[in-house]
Amino acid sequence: MPPYAYAIIIQHEPQTVRYTDHHEIIEDDLTIALLAFAGGDPFTVERYDGGYTVDVYRTRLETEEERSARVRGRVAYMREYHKRLASVPHRA
């Protein structure tokens, strides 16, 4: 799809950010106690020679700085969208 092909909705409230915490556990045996850092968040475990890799999938609300930058970028996008839309000849 070409750039600025469609309008977007700008959500001004803080959005949920998904991220992954990556942990290496150098142990022969993996116990529940070693996984306490995951809390109630979902996680995956992979075994490799010498230990385990644990990825914990977490969410948080974006910071005010992140929200502000996201909104500024989307406002700039819509400004350019409207500018380009106005320059397209309309059919009768």
Domain boundaries, the chain: 16-87
φ/ψ of residue 43, rounded to 5: -150, 165
Identify which has the larger pLDDT, 91 or 44.
44
Whether 70 contacts 62, CB under 8 Å: yes
Starting at the earlier edge strand, list the strands of the sheet with 16-25. Answer: 16-25, 51-61, 43-48
How far apart CA 10 and CA 67 sit, in angstroms, is 11
Query: pLDDT, tens digit, for every residue of 41-66?
Result: 999 999 999 899 999 999 999 999 99
Question: Rounded to two decimals, what is the model's pTM?
Answer: 0.72
